[in-house]
Amino acid sequence: MHFRLVPARHLERAVAIEQQGFPEDEAASLQAFQFRQESAPDLFLGAYNDDDELIAYVCSTLSDASSLTHESMSTHVPGASSVCIHSICVAPEYQRQGIALRLLQEYVTRCESSGAYERILLITHEPLRPLYEKAGFEWLGPSHVVHGSKPWFEMRRTLARPQPPPGVFEALQRPSNPDPSSTRLDSFPGGIADVSLPDSTNKFDIICPRPGCGSIILKSGVAKLTEAPVAPSVQMELHPLLTALPESNSCWLVTPSPMEFENIGFSRPVQSPGEEKIKFLACAECDLGPLGHCKEGGTEFWLSCSRVGYRVSQSD
């Protein structure tokens, strides 16, 4: 036996199992099954035998309520945190083999692992209470839902939220560069020659020039030194750390995608009259920019040599 999501082509088989397992006044229609599968396909789980035949299923929709009502059982609220089980059923020839419990346990595990839900709710008849309690559901008492001739009782399984590894929040709060000291281009006696290698790639890690940030933007040896025209002029107030650029601007050219960067931020597209749309580049951690630019949808990214910082180690 194996578990997988039930595709639309298997819904008629699911309805046949439903009609065999529930009284006529409780069994759902094909239209109801189609609504559930279309609305929440990731919550329609089936158990299949070795011949890949559907032998059991559980299906649900989502609600933002913490208890089951007629409304929560007849609607679907995308992104809500309550999983409302509509039906759990096993084909008659496969009953009393523990399949329902195994299917429920698999279902709970999947819902819990997703981290998207807070609880699973269901209504049942009293004789089935032990089955659901084995799967970790708690008995809440009589339900207000009326469906068929027998009374219903509500049960709930509270889901555990996945916890991040110890120390992850502290790690995220630390700067990406433990030594945020930045050396500007005008501090090098030889200028551009001091920060480039013989193959014209960047000799040092390129970092954010803002004191106290120093986030690594680009690792050494990734970009090529080139002369690029200044980005089209756009009215903006420059941060004091960022000087106006000359007509011909020495840049670090990064290609072919932003995945080459360690971190980089982009502005919304801007455009000067008669010019192509561009995006400005900025530090993704502190938003300092513009440090460079790129054409919208382009594959070339230019960082101004004079607007970024360089991480120089003692050995350098």
Segment of 64-68, 156-160, 174-178 carrying the highest mean pLDDT: 156-160
Buried b (16+ CB within 10 A) or exposed e, 64-92: ebebbeeebbebbbeebebbbbbbbbbbe
pLDDT of 255 above 80: yes
Q: Which of 98-102, 142-146, 248-252, 277-281 has the lowest mean pLDDT?
A: 248-252
pLDDT > 90 in the chain, percent: 54
pLDDT in tens, 209-223: 988 888 999 999 999
Domain ranges of the chain: 2-158, 175-311
Architecture of domain 2-158: 3-Layer(aba) Sandwich (3.40)
Distance of alpha carbon 316 from alpha carbon 306, whole angstroms: 20
Average pLDDT for 206-235: 83
CATH 3.40.50.10190 assigned to domain 175-311? The reply is no
Structural contact between residues 59 and 17, judged by C-beta atoms closer than 8 angstroms = no
Length, in residues, of the chain: 316
Distance of alpha carbon 279 from alpha carbon 295, whole angstroms: 6
Cis bond before residue 142 (omega within 30° of 0): no
Structural contact between residues 245 and 308, judged by C-beta atoms closer than 8 angstroms = no
Cis bond before residue 256 (omega within 30° of 0): yes
Distance of alpha carbon 57 from alpha carbon 41, whole angstroms: 12
pLDDT band at 170 (very low <50, low <70, confident <90, very high): low
pLDDT in tens, 14-48: 999 999 988 888 888 999 999 999 999 999 999 99
Average pLDDT for 111-122: 90
Q: DSSP strand E in 36-152: where?
A: 44-48, 54-63, 82-90, 119-124, 138-142
CB atoms within 10 A of CB 236: 12
Which sign, positive or negative, has the C-alpha torsion 69, 70, 73, 76? negative
